[in-house]
Structure 1
Amino acid sequence: MKIKILAILFFTFYMFGFAQRDRFNYPNFIGENLNGIEKNPDWKILAQSTGDLNMDGLDDAAIILESKDSIQVKECSNCKLIKRKPRVILVLFNQDSKQTVVIQNNEFIARGDEGGMLNYLEPELSIKKGWLNIFYQYTRSHQSYTFEFRNNQMELILAESVGVHSASGDFECDKFDFLKGILTSETGNMSQEKSKKEIFRLDIQPKSLNEFGEMYEWEVIENKYL
């Protein structure tokens, strides 16, 4: 069962690795306010959420932008050129009564055609109780990342990866808790009540949103990727 699931996940990671290798001259949004972002003629707001991220009593914001124009991308040396719309994530803190961009990441957000069997992948974005959550719902799996403002940066504190094999019903659920320093991994079958749980120590520093590269390129522990 584990071998099947790992093979599926490896293929997903492999495809993400090729799919996100495009290079693009991204604009620098740092210091831009919300009004300027909304009026940008080349980018549209794909997802947006507001809430107090740094606990100063003022509303901050997180925004995912998608380019209105496509760029040509070659996923491998023998692949044909395809068109893709770049995406970025911005975090805006309330400064002098204006929400201003202080964090920008051009690589981390998956693009619309990177959802496997989905025709279009659109991330969900939310800010609740000071936590920023990015959630992806795939056909038979989901992935989430939760960040908190710690040490003057948006630091990953929780993550969850769930995958289900369509034919067998075998599943694997990985829950990363960087606050407690543990990974809880559960495997089983959707048709059975019993499952197996394992707990691993996370002897690694969590990444900040600034530090994240492409999805699934960070091997947290052996064969466990975020």
Structure 2
Amino acid sequence: MRIKLVLFFLACQTAVYAQNFKYPTLPNQGKSLSALVPANWKILDSISGDLNHDQLNDLAFVMEYHKEVRESRAYGDNTTEIITEIQKPRILAVYFKRANGEGYQIGVQNNNFILRSAEGGIMGDPLRPLKIDSNKLVLSFEGGGDWRWKLNYTFRYQDKNWFLEKAGNEYYNESSGEMTHKKYDFILRKRLVTTGKTHNRDAANETVSEDFPFKTLRTFQSFKKPWTWEIGPDEFL
């Protein structure tokens, strides 16, 4: 009897993970945040502010599905390294406030860029609060163990697309304080590299400015998720 029960529960678990999950298509418009959230999804974080320079407060939010599913996620160079994991899917959504003041119009739905709850290592969920800075959307993540990392990405909305304008990648040792912090400006095509200790004053660390040539600005479509853009040998963003 016990063996039958074990087999039954294993079968149920397999059925949950093997379900034919599909991301919902978010509503084209809605009157409130609650009206934009599909069934079986919950809000993890949200923020309000002007993202398209019309002096109206738009909405940006992250949602999570209510249960785990099998999901293929990009690693490495976005295409050749695809790993299937069991986790709760997440969606980033941005809605613009309508000019007549009646509700919101969708600005983007992204099913890939937000890291999942188990992608932060021993530090737990890597997602950090959303920010809007100078009409730009800032996405931040943090994770690791003895060696820890912090990532942030600043996206600008222009010409009906979302362009990556700036980014930061900090890698440091929790015990020794040894760190490397890289700041990327894709408009000026510059990279600032700071090395030293996290507990030092800025003057005690070394900062070098480097040219950072590239062809085109990355978008949500061409930059699938954190850690998948190989900028150079052993350098990922």
Gaps of 5+ in 1: 1-22, 76-80
The superposition leaves residues 199-222 of structure 1 with CA deviations (integer Å, 9 ceiling, x where unpaired) of 132323221234331221112344
Q: How many residues align?
A: 198
TM-score normalized by the length of structure 1: 0.77
TM-score normalized by the length of structure 2: 0.73
- The residue number in structure 2 matching 1:93 is 96
Q: 1:183–1:202: 8 Å Cα contact kept in structure 2?
A: no
SS at match of 2:122: coil
The superposition leaves residues 120-147 of structure 1 with CA deviations (integer Å, 9 ceiling, x where unpaired) of 3333101132111111233533110111
* Residue 37 (str. 1) matches residue 48 (str. 2): no
191 and 102 in structure 1: CA distance in 2 versus 1, 3 angstrom threshold:
closer
**Of residues 208, 229, 235 in structure 2, which corresponds to 1:197?**
208
- The residue number in structure 2 matching 1:172 is 180
**Of residues 23, 26, 30 in structure 2, which corresponds to 1:26?**
23
Q: 2:181–2:193: 8 Å Cα contact kept in structure 1?
A: yes
Q: How many Å apart are 1:118 and its aligned residue? A: 1.3
The superposition leaves residues 136-175 of structure 1 with CA deviations (integer Å, 9 ceiling, x where unpaired) of 2335331101111223322111110101034553211110
- The residue number in structure 2 matching 1:187 is 195
Q: 1:204–1:220: 8 Å Cα contact kept in structure 2?
A: no
- The residue number in structure 2 matching 1:225 is 236
Q: How many Å apart are 1:101 and its aligned residue? A: 1.8
- The residue number in structure 1 matching 2:53 is 55
Q: 2:40–2:66: 8 Å Cα contact kept in structure 1?
A: yes
Gaps of 5+ in 2: 1-19, 74-83
- The residue number in structure 1 matching 2:219 is 208
SS at match of 1:215: coil
Q: 2:69–2:88: 8 Å Cα contact kept in structure 1?
A: yes
* Structure 1 runs of 4+ with >4 Å offset: none
Q: How many Å apart are 1:46 and its aligned residue? A: 0.7
Q: 1:30–1:104: 8 Å Cα contact kept in structure 2?
A: no
Question: Matches of 2:128 and 2:65 in 1, distance apart?
Answer: 15
- The residue number in structure 2 matching 1:18 is none
61 and 74 in structure 1: CA distance in 2 versus 1, 3 angstrom threshold:
closer
For residues 107-186 of structure 1, what are the structure 2 equivalents within 5 Å? 107-138=112-143, 140-166=148-174, 168-186=176-194
**Aligned amino acid, residue 213 of structure 1:** K
Which structure carries more relative contact order (alpha carbon 8 Å, separation 6+)? 1
Question: Matches of 2:66 and 2:194 in 1, distance apart?
Answer: 40
SS at match of 2:121: coil
**Aligned amino acid, residue 171 of structure 1:** M
